[in-house]
Amino acid sequence: MAELVFRDDAYARACRARVLAVTPAGIELDRTVFYPTGGGQPGDTGSLLRPDGSRVRIAGTVKGEGADAVLHLPAPGEALPVPGEEVEAVLDWERRHRHMRFHTALHLLCAVVPAPVTGGQVAEDKARLDFDIEMERLVKETIEAELNRLVAEGHRVRPRWITDAELDARPELVRTMSVQPPRGQGGVRVLEIEGVDLQPCGGTHVADTREVGPLAVVKIRSEGARNRRVVLGFA
């Protein structure tokens, strides 16, 4: 179990940490800024700086077994740290920041398209959401204009925690049909875009919609009988 620094501070680019375990599954730290793959957002990359000045490149990050366990995946051939060692965990910040901008953009898209979400994925150069909606209700120009209006309006974006009971009382908060937020942990993390959107989310986000930057709807296409996929890029 690690202290998840990114959960309360998405802008932390580095942190001091102690190595807890090194196994074929990956490297566990007592605290980390590395977001593990989940909720449609890719795991972070970066490096661990060792006391002797050498660097362990981290090629990916995934969830481990148990709550708040994070596995840092070393790039092939890297010399590994040892348990007990103090390291500095440093993100590939440019890549992560693009994930943050796109993840917030997908929440805006969710607010713009009034339909159930059936899936979604963030990448460095694009992001997509799938909706259960008729094709003729998705108009590229309208969606793009609405998105860019919300971006330009500069809405504040912040994570906060609500209780399971609050979530149960507001089922409309759960916009994704396939993924139910985890319960029984005393609370659910929600992401609020003030005046625009509120939904359960464990991802990392920018603090203000202006930071997303101008967006383009790259394509809209059918993915099976009920799925319509909207793909976004940076304009």
State in angstroms the smallest separation of the CB of 229 from Zn ion: 17
198-227 binders of Zn ion (CB under 5 A): 201, 203
State in angstroms the smallest separation of the CB of 107 from Zn ion: 6
Task: Please tell me whether residue 193 binds Zn ion under the rule CB under 5 A.
Answer: no
The size of the chain, in residues, is: 235
Whole-number Cα distances in Å, 81 to 14, 36, 50, 193: 17, 20, 7, 40
Task: Please tell me whether residue 105 binds Zn ion under the rule CB under 5 A.
Answer: no
Contact range with Zn ion by CB under 5 A, out of 76-84, 87-95, 166-174, 197-205:
197-205
Contact range with Zn ion by CB under 5 A, out of 12-20, 126-134, 156-164, 196-204:
196-204
Question: In angstroms, rounded to a whole number, what is the distance separating the alpha carbons of residues 95 and 81?
Answer: 24
Comparison of 19 and 106: residue with beta carbon closer to Zn ion: 106
Comparison of 91 and 127: residue with beta carbon closer to Zn ion: 127
Comparison of 111 and 201: residue with beta carbon closer to Zn ion: 201
DSSP SS3 for 99: helix
Buried b (16+ CB within 10 A) or exposed e, 113-135: bebbbbbbbbbeebbbbbbebee
Comparison of 81 and 203: residue with beta carbon closer to Zn ion: 203
State in angstroms the smallest separation of the CB of 89 from Zn ion: 23
State in angstroms the smallest separation of the CB of 10 from Zn ion: 12
- Angle of helix 140-153 relative to helix 93-112, nearest 10 degrees, comes to 120
39 sits in which H/E element:
none
State in angstroms the smallest separation of the CB of 12 from Zn ion: 19
Q: What is the DSSP letter of 116?
A: -
Q: What's the Rg (C-alpha) of the chain?
A: 19
Residues at the interface with Zn ion (CB under 5 A) = 201, 203
